[in-house]
């Protein structure tokens, strides 16, 4: 063990030079604790910095295209805001505590930290649940029309309602219905789940029902029916003349599968902590590490959503491309792609100026919301234009 510490001590001195004095002592247990604490600091810093910057980028992209946002993107905008606030406000307090070795603020600071983390975490869950239910309604109740079951205005009002709904569960501990306090390890704060007072127990019941089981039940209900209709489409149980209906269902089912990845990632992050808190309510004795590690792991949910948006949502990639590039660059790129498909055209004919002999261009935009505008030259053969 001593040789292992001797091997990595130079690296540790470089990263944390102010703590090298601790290794003068021969107490390896103390050294292990120091390494563990600084590992927590690095982990929380990674979540805060990477998550904060990534979510900020998503906010900038979506706010720039605010008028053209679709209904699901309105919910994603709200989730991104809560994730960004968690990384920028809630987690830095825990970073300071891990550096200090204990919670450095007063009880009011502990309550504020717990309130922020709990509120923002719950906001993500209820938004994902409503997104799943909205996709279910779009598939089953909105089959004859393109678009979503909800309008943009309706989605915006629901977003406001969801934030109020979350505050219904996170504000009462500030005023005596249950309480916020330090978790095991004295580095982060959360709801005190070890109280045996009947009033606090009633809060735990309401919190688990409204803040966990109802959103989870809504998700399971929605995806149970979405999976059924996906199976029906796969085995062609719809009439052959329902082409538009089948295309509508397949498009929304495909989006629901992508949404399921976001939901699965969130549940994977928070499920261990939910199980641990439930065991605490049942008075099961747990070690500090058994409580603290799931609490830390849950905070990863604030970081990875932007990367999932980038990988799985093409509409977001398009908006990101427009945000990060200039109009001139996009125009040159379109002209280059056009010349690749129609090499008989000249550079002059693809420019914006109308020169003599240039082949005029016609932009044909399909009215379906999932289509991509494309350019075809009016001088091209008929079979090409069709």
pLDDT one-digit tens code per residue, 97-113: 888 878 888 888 899 99
Give the mean pLDDT of 124-133. Answer: 94
Count of CB atoms situated within 10 Å of the CB of 273: 19
| Domains with residue ranges and CATH for the chain | 12-309 (1.20.1070.10)
For residue 353, give the 3-state DSSP assignment.
coil
Q: Is the dihedral of CA 130, 135, 137, 142 positive or negative?
A: positive
Q: State the helix-helix crossing angle for 314-324 and 28-64, rounded to 10 degrees.
A: 80
- What pLDDT score does 39 carry? 78
Write the burial class of residue 362 (CB in 10 Å: 0-12 exposed, 13-18 middle, 19+ buried).
exposed
Name the strand (E) or helix (H) holding 364: strand 361-364
- Judge whether 315 and 71 are in contact, CB under 8 Å: no
Instruction: With beta carbons less than 8 A apart as the criterion, state whether 301 and 269 touch.
Output: yes
Q: What percent of the chain has pLDDT over 70?
A: 73
For 208-260, write each residue's pLDDT tens digit. Answer: 999 999 999 999 999 998 888 877 766 665 555 566 677 777 888 888 888 89
Provide the pLDDT for residue 22.
46
Which range is least confidently modeled, 63-67, 90-94, 121-125, 382-386? 382-386
pLDDT score of 196 more than 70:
yes
**For residue 300, which of 97, 85, 51 has the smallest C-alpha distance?**
51
Quick one: average pLDDT of 67-94? 91
Closest by Cα among 267, 255, 251 to 219: 267
* Mean of pLDDT values over 59-71: 88
Question: How much is the pLDDT for 126?
Answer: 95
Q: What is the torsional sign of CA 50, 52, 53, 54?
A: positive
Q: Which of 55-59, 277-281, 335-339 shows the lowest per-residue confidence on average (mean pLDDT)?
A: 335-339
- What's the rounded mean pLDDT across residues 62-82? 90
d(CA 169, CA 305): 24
Phi, psi at 377, each rounded to 5°:
-75, 140
**Gap between the Cα atoms of 105 and 101, Å rounded:** 12
Residues 271, 140, 156: CA angle, nearest 5 degrees: 65
CA 215 from centroid of its chain's CA atoms = 16
Flag the least confident range among 21-25, 49-53, 270-274, 326-330. 21-25
Window from 61-65, 139-143, 198-202, 356-360 with minimum mean pLDDT: 356-360
- 21 pLDDT above the threshold of 50: no
Query: Per-residue pLDDT for 67 more than 60?
Result: yes
DSSP reduced 3-state for 326? coil
pTM for the full predicted model: 0.76
pLDDT of the residue at 341 = 67
The residue to which tokens 């999976």 are assigned: 227
**Is the predicted pLDDT of residue 24 greater than 90, yes or no?**
no
């Amino acid at each position: 063990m001593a040789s292992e510490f001797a091997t990595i001590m130079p690296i540790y001195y470089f990263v944390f030079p102010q703590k090298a004095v601790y290794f003068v002592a021969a107490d390896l247990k103390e050294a292990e604790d120091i390494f563990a604490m600084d590992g927590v600091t690095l982990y929380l810093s990674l979540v805060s910095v990477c998550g904060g910057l990534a979510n900020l980028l998503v906010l900038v992209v979506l706010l720039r295209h605010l008028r053209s946002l679709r209904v699901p993107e309105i919910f994603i905008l709200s989730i991104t805001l809560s994730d960004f606030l968690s990384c920028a406000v809630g987690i830095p307090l825990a970073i300071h505590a891990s550096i200090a070795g204990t919670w450095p603020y007063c009880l009011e600071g502990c309550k504020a930290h717990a309130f922020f983390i709990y509120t923002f975490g719950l906001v993500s869950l209820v938004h994902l649940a409503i997104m799943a239910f909205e996709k279910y309604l779009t598939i089953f109740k909105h089959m004859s029309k393109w678009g979503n079951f909800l309008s943009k205005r309706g989605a915006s009002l629901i977003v406001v309602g969801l934030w109020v709904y979350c505050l219904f569960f996170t504000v009462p501990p500030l005023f005596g219905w249950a309480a916020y306090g330090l978790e095991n390890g004295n580095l982060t704060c959360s709801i005190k789940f070890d109280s045996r007072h009947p009033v606090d127990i009633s809060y735990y019941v309401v919190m688990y029902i409204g803040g966990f089981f109802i959103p989870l039940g809504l998700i399971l209900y929605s995806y149970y029916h979405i999976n059924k209709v996906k199976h029906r489409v796969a085995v062609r149980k719809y009439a052959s003349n329902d082409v538009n209906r089948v295309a509508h269902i397949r498009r929304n089912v495909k989006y629901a599968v992508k949404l399921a990845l976001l939901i699965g990632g969130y549940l994977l992050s928070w499920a261990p902590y939910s199980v641990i808190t439930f065991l605490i309510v049942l008075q099961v004795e747990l070690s500090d590490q058994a409580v603290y590690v799931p609490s830390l792991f849950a905070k990863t949910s604030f970081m990875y959503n932007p990367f999932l948006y980038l990988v799985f949502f093409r509409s977001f990639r398009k908006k990101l491309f427009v945000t990060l590039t200039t109009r001139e660059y996009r125009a040159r790129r379109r002209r280059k792609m056009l010349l690749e498909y129609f090499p008989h055209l000249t550079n002059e004919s693809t420019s914006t100026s109308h020169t003599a002999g240039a082949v005029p261009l016609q932009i044909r935009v399909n009215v379906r919301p999932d289509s991509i505008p494309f350019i075809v030259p009016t001088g091209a053969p008929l079979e090409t234009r069709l």
